Amino acid sequence: MVSVKLRVENLVKKYGDFTAVRGISFDVMEGEVVALLGPSGCGKTTTLKCIAGLEKPTSGNIYIDGELVNDLEPWERNVRMVFQSYALYPNMKAYDIIALPLKIQKRPETEIKKRVYEVAEMVKITHVLDHKPGELSGGERQRVALARALIMDAKLYLLDEPLTNLDAKLRIMMRSELRRILKELKVSVVYSSPDCLEAMSIADRVAVMNNGQILQFDRPLNVYNDPKNLFVATFVGYPPMNIIKNCILASKGDKVAIRSESGSVELILPNNYKSEIIGQSPIVVGFRPEHVTIKESSKEGPNTGRIILIEEAPPDSYIHAMLSDGMVITVSIPQSELRWGLNELVTLEVNNENIYLFDPKTGERIY
């Protein structure tokens, strides 16, 4: 039976009148990678610092292996943390940086050497052990910091935006590498990131955060396909979800239609849709770019627009079409299917099985 490695219950952290973390709760199972995903300032790093013991919670409890650790010092928690800045000693060689935690414990030199090479081999940096940080690439420095954490057997590993300082190409490569390393070691990890693609590719479960709160905690595909509110729907996924405000639901024969305020968009909801909000206050409608198809059009009307931008990002293309009211809809299609050009008039068709409705006041998902 898989045990709970970390449990955070109603964690609150205040700095004077400012509340950085607002009563969040989540758990991490043994061998699981959980990502804290959210924009800068949402409380991710503060949460990690509270778990590590670097910050004391204002209220709430933190359990590691079933033990309440609120009053334990950082070194008593058996938690290892990798910081965004790596924090590598510039005058030390990579070998000595990685070995330092074992040297502090005065382990035998033979044991230290064996362990350093084991971990270095795992993260593929044995060829740079004789180099100082200034002689290493960003990816190599990141791996040295990771190896320094992994050399000690810990109950829990905390990774605070470890890929943020890397260039785009290296970040993509390191996503799969990190996933491989963490799963190979079968360690329990809390991983913070502002990048939804990074978090969803590395983690088993994702906690989407904003303003110090967890808005949704679920498996990556569930967060993407079944967002609980407007923030999650728009923050997770690229290109972002198309959002249309001030829409009204109205009966159209035996169906339910969505009409935007300007009339530039008309959509039909699935036949099984039932609602008490038909004809009532405006709602927010969302649909993802990959759920829109394009057809040629000869005249303007609802759901038609002119192509104003085409982004080619193989293997996909992102088409941006401006409707009559100035609203821009993004469509994602395989690049092999791209056969339209700038300024062409097109009709946009949305798959009605993939339409989301949100409350404009609370942001909560209606449908």
Report the candidate in 242, 179, 231 with the shortest Cα–Cα distance to residue 363. 231
Could you give the CA distance from residue 128 to residue 26 in angstroms, rounded to a whole number?
A: 38
Q: What average pLDDT does the chain have? A: 92
Domains contained in the chain, CATH given: 4-235 (3.40.50.300), 242-358 (2.40.50.140)
For residues 352 and 269, is the Cβ–Cβ distance under 8 A? yes
Lowest-pLDDT range, 17-31, 219-233, 250-264, 339-353?
A: 250-264
pLDDT at 184 over 90: no
What's the pLDDT score for residue 280?
Answer: 67
Average pLDDT over residues 123-127: 89
Query: At 201, phi and psi to the nearest 5?
Result: -85, -25
Using DSSP's 3-state secondary structure scheme, residue 244 falls into strand
- Give the predicted TM-score (pTM) of the model: 0.90
| Mean pLDDT calculated for residue range 202-218 | 98
